[in-house]
Every structure is written in C-alpha cells, then in structure tokens.
Amino acid sequence: MMTKAVKGLLIVNIAAYIINVLVGMVWGLNLNALFGLFYVESPYFLPFQFLTHMFMHGDIWHIFFNMFALWMFGRIMEQTWGWKKFLVFYFVCGFGAALLQEAGQFIGLISPQDYIIGASGAVMGVMLAFGMTYPNEKIFIIPIPIPIKAIWLIIGYAVYEVILGLLNVDKTAHFAHLGGMLFGFLLILYWKFKAKKRTNSSYIGWRTTSTHPNMKVHYNKNERSRDYEFNAQKKEQNDEIDRILDKIRQDGYASLSEKEKKQLFDASNQ
C-alpha cells in the first residue's frame, strides 16, 4: 500500500530528476550545481541548499536506489507513526545529514566537495528507524543468499559508512549518510523520552486526583458511565494495536492481513 507522505516524496524527487535531465538536454544546464549543497565557505553556497539538495540526484541509479529504499521502509514507518510525524522525521534526518557533512568538512575530517546531492541521508535515517522499530524483521539483500535481521543490517551499514567516511577514498557523502542516521537516532530517543515522561505524568496526576485526602471529585452517574465506556474502548483498541505490532515483530509486516494493515494505518493517523 502506498502511503500519503511517501507518495508525495517520490513524486517530488522523480519530478526534480526529470526536470534536471530535460533542462540539461535543452539548455545544457545542470541544476544540481545550483540546488546541491556546497560547503559553507564556498562562494556558491546558499542557505536554501540545505533543503533542496535532498531532492536532487546524479543519475538514474542514484535516484532508483534511494526511492526504492524510501518506498520499502518509509511506507511501513509512515503507517507506524502517521504521515505528519514521518515527514518531521524525514526532514530532520535530511537536515542532520547536511549538518554532519558540513561539520566533517569544516574540521578537516573529509575534503570539501563541490556539492552533495541526494535523499540518501534522509533515507538512511528512515532505514535506521525501521531497524530500531522492527529489529527482528528479516530482509533479503542481493547477492547475500540468506535473510538478515534489520537491526544487523543497519549496524553493519553504519560501520561501513564510518570506515569509508574516515578513509575518504571516494566522492560519496558518507558523513551525510551517518548524519541522517545519527539525527534519526537522537530524534527517536527524544520521542521515547517524551512519551515516557507523558505516561508517568498522567499516572501521577491520576493517583493524586484519586487519593489526595483534601480533594473531592464529583462525578454524576452519566459522566462516569461515559468515561468507563470510553476507557474500555480505548483499551481494547490499544490491545489490538499491540497485538498487531507483536505479530510484525515475530512474523514480519507481510504476515498482516489487509484488515490489520488498515487498523494500523488508521491508528497511526489518530
């Protein structure tokens, strides 16, 4: 199932690539040299490049692999989080990729490049999110003949990017890939911290209201009945979502029925 945010990102990226190709064919211009991200000390650096570089790609294989990974992992994370939260995460990872690449060049860990382009940093963040959320999901990677658990794939890829980034042996923006993963990791930790804090605050507030000796709380019978019904319905929905998520962890996303996928998607948008 194609989700809303992923569909929109695919359309924008593919449209930008086609426009760049057509402009190059007709006028001989390379839009990547305008919208790609230059090093901050370059005379060609412009602030908007922090955003626009995410939608520019070098060749057909560059955009194909980025968009395939975005479709493969992004739609599942969008169904898990909802489209708004997914887009926030995607762009935080994209900006984080740019920041770490610029920082690596600034402190001299890597040589300044002409410019960097591509959605790879943001996509790497999405892949990391998938590995953290569904660590036991098994993935086939050509030409490896056996499936690999998502968490090990992500860890292996991160180590690979660190090594190549420090060796500085090619023109691939390895630090940008690492930046997308790093900022994605930090954002997920922040969201988990906020959720835990909110849960603890709600629990403390409920305990205080119900047990404080000097506090009197009045409910009429109809209000109390509605509260019970609402809480019971909410608990039933949460239990069902927990069951679906457990099923994904054990048997993979593909094991879900269409009804279960719809339930998960509807819950993510609430």
Q: Is pLDDT of 211 > 50?
A: no
Q: Is pLDDT of 212 > 50?
A: no
- Residue 47, token pair as written in the block: 């602030």
From CA 43, how far away is CA 58, in angstroms rounded? Answer: 22
pLDDT tens digits along 88-103: 999 999 999 999 999 9
Nearest to 47 by CA among 125, 112, 122, 102: 102
Contacts 24+ apart (CB under 8 A), 240-246: 241/267
Is 251 part of a structural domain of the chain? Answer: no
pLDDT tens digits along 147-197: 889 999 899 989 999 888 888 777 788 999 999 999 999 999 999 999 888
Q: Which of 51-60, 64-73, 215-224 has the lowest mean pLDDT?
A: 215-224
Q: Is pLDDT of 219 > 60?
A: no
Kindly report the CATH number assigned to the domain that includes residue 81. Answer: 1.20.1540.10
- Residue 120, token pair as written in the block: 């790879």
User: What residues contact residue 110 under an 8 Å CB cut-off, 6+ apart?
Assistant: 101, 104, 165, 168, 174, 175
Q: Is pLDDT of 214 > 60?
A: no
What percentage of the chain carries pLDDT values higher than 90?
A: 55
Q: Is pLDDT of 229 > 90?
A: no
Exposed, middle or buried: residue 227 (CB in 10 Å: 0-12, 13-18, 19+)?
exposed
Q: What average pLDDT does the chain have? A: 85
The pLDDT value recorded for residue 210 is 45
Mean pLDDT calculated for residue range 134-138? 91
Q: Which residue has the tokens 């695919």?
A: 10
Say if CB 130 and CB 76 are below 8 A apart: yes
Is 35 part of a structural domain of the chain? Answer: yes
From CA 72, how far away is CA 177, in angstroms rounded? Answer: 18
From CA 184, how far away is CA 127, in angstroms rounded? Answer: 9
Nearest to 11 by CA among 90, 19, 35: 19
Is 28 part of a structural domain of the chain? Answer: yes
Mean pLDDT calculated for residue range 112-131? 93
Is 254 part of a structural domain of the chain? Answer: no
Domain count, the chain: 1
Residue with more model confidence, 198 or 201: 198
Is 142 part of a structural domain of the chain? Answer: yes
Is 10 part of a structural domain of the chain? Answer: yes
From CA 168, how far away is CA 190, in angstroms rounded? Answer: 31
Is 213 part of a structural domain of the chain? Answer: no
pLDDT tens digits along 235-267: 677 778 878 887 777 777 777 788 887 777 777
Domain range for 150: 4-188
Is 184 part of a structural domain of the chain? Answer: yes
Residue with more model confidence, 107 or 204: 107
Strand residues in the chain grouped as ranges (E): 138-139, 148-149
Residue with more model confidence, 43 or 109: 43
Say if CB 72 and CB 60 are below 8 A apart: no
What percentage of the chain carries pLDDT values higher than 70?
A: 86
From CA 115, how far away is CA 189, in angstroms rounded? Answer: 31
